[in-house]
Amino acid sequence: MSEFRMPSLGADMAAGTLVEWKVKPGDRVNKGDVIAEVETDKGIIDIEVYEDGVLDQILIQSSQKVPVGTVLALIRAEGEPVAVTAPAAAAPILKPVPEVERPPAAPLPAAAPGERLRVSPLARKLAGELGVDLSTVKGTGPHGTIERVDVERAAAELKAKVAEPKLAAPPPPPVEVAPLVPPAPPEPVVAKPAVDFQAGMRRAIAAAMSRSNRDIPHYYLEMRIDLSRALRWLEAENLKRSIKDRLLPVVLLIKATARALVDVPELNGFWVDDQLQPQEAINIGFAISLRQGGLVTPAIHTADLKSLDELMVDMRDIIMRTRAGKLRSSDLTDSTITLTSLGDLGVEKVYGVIYPPQVALVGFGKISEQPWVENSMLALRQVVTATLAGDHRATDGHRGGQFLEALNRQLQEPEKL
């Protein structure tokens, strides 16, 4: 029997809300199946299962917010007997704790004239918000101190009095009146601005980036790379294709980055438990800006093993699903390094912030025509500036420089990508 837990969908996630189960007890599940939906600050994410088996028990029902690591369900292997007893208590559910009503105390007399009222700061603030006259409130706290519960009780009584029905006065005798002027049309109701639904995402990004700047000793390197050969090859290659099958320059950058990581694997991994944990799979997190604001970096899996056509399909797919809010948990948890490209905005150089627990980020700026000297000859070339943000705990500038050189070599032979 194995435990299916609330996954961590990024370093900035502490808890998630279980929106819906896609399966029920007794259903067979296969690795990669979407079995639940979880809401985070980044939106509603499809959660996949990472093993084959049968869903034995559901321990957390929908609409509950629970911490990362909470056991959500039990999955048994095929042929394994059904669990008879419930497992040990799962992590606590994050629900509002009901306020314990203070037992009613004997009312104390209000302050005598000239005597200072004892009022807690929170009660004073709340009284101002609710329009409660503190001189009419009897405190039940120590030494007659007026506390929040006293103000709330007084506000409720005041509200109840206002809401009491009043006896209707007898109707006045009829009088002759002039014809009424048609009333002016009511003023249009202006809808209040909706709450910024991206606020949660901005808070999540702020938390992750604050942690990155606080905990990760960054070093930065940059290199100008001549893309003239790569772009000529790409232009010739696209002439052979239909418009929908053409490749974008960023696909060359993704593949070259993945190949360079094969040569310098220390940049492809995580810093966990005070040590570098290199990862075998090269899953490049591709930074995608949302139209409504915010940033998500879903993974392009095994980028070093895929053809340029496969990478183009993957990139289009994750962009479409990201902007449609259809990401899966593996999209957000599997990235081993992040790549960001801001060249389409005219940015010349990108100095990124590493997304923990990753140990590196690669940035690409605008591809532009620049002077270039080669073999003592001056010419104009199509050049891009590549930058590397590295975690100095995992690597140093020498190893980072080797990565940029390997990246340059890959882009000089585009036909081999």
- According to the model, what pLDDT value does residue 165 have? 56
The two three-digit tokens of residue 368, written as one number: 């532009």
Do 126 and 247 belong to one domain? Answer: no
Do 53 and 124 belong to one domain? Answer: no
Do 8 and 122 belong to one domain? Answer: no
Do 127 and 255 belong to one domain? Answer: no
- According to the model, what pLDDT value does residue 178 have? 44
Contacts of 16 (CB under 8 A, 6+ apart): 6, 9, 38, 39, 40, 65, 66, 68
Residues 271-290 have pLDDT tens digits of 999 999 999 999 999 999 88
> Quick check: is 252 in a domain?
yes
Query: Could you tell me if residue 186 is left (phi over 0), alpha (psi between -120 and 50 degrees) or otherwise beta?
Result: beta
> Quick check: is 89 in a domain?
no
Q: Return the number of other C-beta atoms located less than 10 Å from residue 111's C-beta.
A: 16
> Quick check: is 186 in a domain?
no
Task: Find the CATH number of the domain harbouring 380.
Answer: 3.30.559.10
Buried b (16+ CB within 10 A) or exposed e, 343-358: beeeeebbebbbbbbb
Out of 131, 147, 163, a domain closes at 147
Instruction: Look at 38-42, 248-252, 333-337 and tell me which has the smallest mean pLDDT.
Output: 38-42
Do 53 and 122 belong to one domain? Answer: no
Residues 84-115 have pLDDT tens digits of 544 444 445 555 444 444 444 334 444 555 55
Do 271 and 122 belong to one domain? Answer: no
Q: Point out the catalytic residue in the list 218, 301, 392, 398.
A: 392
Judge whether residue 36 has pLDDT over 60: yes
> Quick check: is 125 in a domain?
yes
Do 61 and 140 belong to one domain? Answer: no
Do 25 and 124 belong to one domain? Answer: no
Do 315 and 263 belong to one domain? Answer: yes
Domain count, the chain: 3
> Quick check: is 105 in a domain?
no
Instruction: Please work out, in degrees rounded to the nearest 5, the angle formed at the alpha carbon of residue 241 by the alpha carbons of 239 and 243.
Output: 95
Closest CA to 293 of 397, 206, 400, 182: 206
Task: Find the CATH number of the domain harbouring 32.
Answer: 2.40.50.100
Judge whether residue 77 has pLDDT over 60: yes
Task: Find the CATH number of the domain harbouring 140.
Answer: 4.10.320.10
Do 136 and 268 belong to one domain? Answer: no
> Quick check: is 211 in a domain?
no
Tell me the pTM. 0.67
Do 225 and 127 belong to one domain? Answer: no
Q: Catalytic: 392?
A: yes
Give the range of the structural domain holding residue 44, as residue numbers without chain letter: 2-76
Mean pLDDT of 20-41: 89
Judge whether residue 10 has pLDDT over 60: yes
